[in-house]
Structure 1
Amino acid sequence: MRRVIRALRRSGVVAHPLRRPVDRVEGWVTLILVVVFAVFTPLAAAAVGGCAFRAGVRAEQSQEADRRHVMAKIVKEGGRESRRLVAVARWRGSDGMWRMAKVPVNGGHRPGSSVRLWIDQSGREVAPPRTRAQTWNQALSYCLITMAGIGFLLLEVRRAVRLRLDRRRSERWERLWAEIEPPWSTRHRPPPPWP
């Protein structure tokens, strides 16, 4: 409980005799921004994540309808390309024509063995359809990006407010010092008369 009270005093929300009005304004602005972050950020992240998830599910359904997998026979080993093993494989497309292409394989595939491929409506090899895990991953990533963006924006608002309040503090300090300095300082006193 002491930590909470100490944090509230430091923030400027709780009044105490040494707090200036600008300190209280800064404390209230900080408190309001924290509340806005706590209330608005989850709502915005849920909305963005929900949109991303629904778009991902539509992409899954579209790709599942457009793509199918076939078993292809490896004709010959192809070697290494771009840090992955490839082999030349042959399969029958959806139009009944035989197709051949280099396909990625694991190390244990030899000529004559089978490998699973995904093909589109025209019979060309394509990437596997999107999975539900990819959809969840993308939706959660968008949620985190949204939360980080809102947090950054609110921190920048707080920084701008603080800079403006610091400028006011400095101006007030200069005015007060201009009133108080002359009696205390020797800079404005006339030199003592010479004897």
Structure 2
Amino acid sequence: MASTRDIEERYKISKKNIILEKKLSNQVFQVISSKESSLPPVHTWNTPLNGDLDINIDREGVWRHEEDLIKRPSLVAFFSSLLRRDGDEYFLITPAEKWRISVDIAPFFIISAELENYAEQSAVRMTTRTGESFLVGRKNPLWLKKIAGEPNPIPLVLVRDNMPGIVSRPVYYDLISWATTSPDNTVSLESLGQTYDIGSF
């Protein structure tokens, strides 16, 4: 049974995240309410930098605010809709504020993939932890990247707006099972007519 102190701490964390959500959502509500897309047009906002916000996205796409886990999926999805990448840095941006946040490797995390037919072509559909879905292809390419401190290259895929997602291990194993192996032991995956090298044996 949770102690009174535990309950108070959970309340403080929840209240802190709700305040942050309301602060940002009030600034974008009028903008997205008039748009067909559910994603705000963050690429059009020239908001000056306010500073650094103590939010981190770890390598599995888990969000933390001041080291406290942000547990509510709808809140994480809302924050991710405000993400913008400028160079190698990531920001939460609204028409009124722009805050730099930290991202360990990539801001998105791929939790599932399906092999399907699209326009008479084989296609891989991926879904992120925040619920965004897309087809791997020319607009959303897949690649391997060597990351300092990691023993093996990390599979990445472009999710949107120059922001990648890490392909989870179970999804990567699915990709391997759908791929073909060439005589030189290169493992290649096809999606929407594009071929991606995803490993070697």
Same topology, TM > 0.5: no
TM-score range, shorter chain: under 0.3
TM-score of the superposed pair, with normalisation by structure 1:
0.20
Larger radius of gyration: 1
Structure number with higher helix proportion: 1
Structure number with higher strand proportion: 2
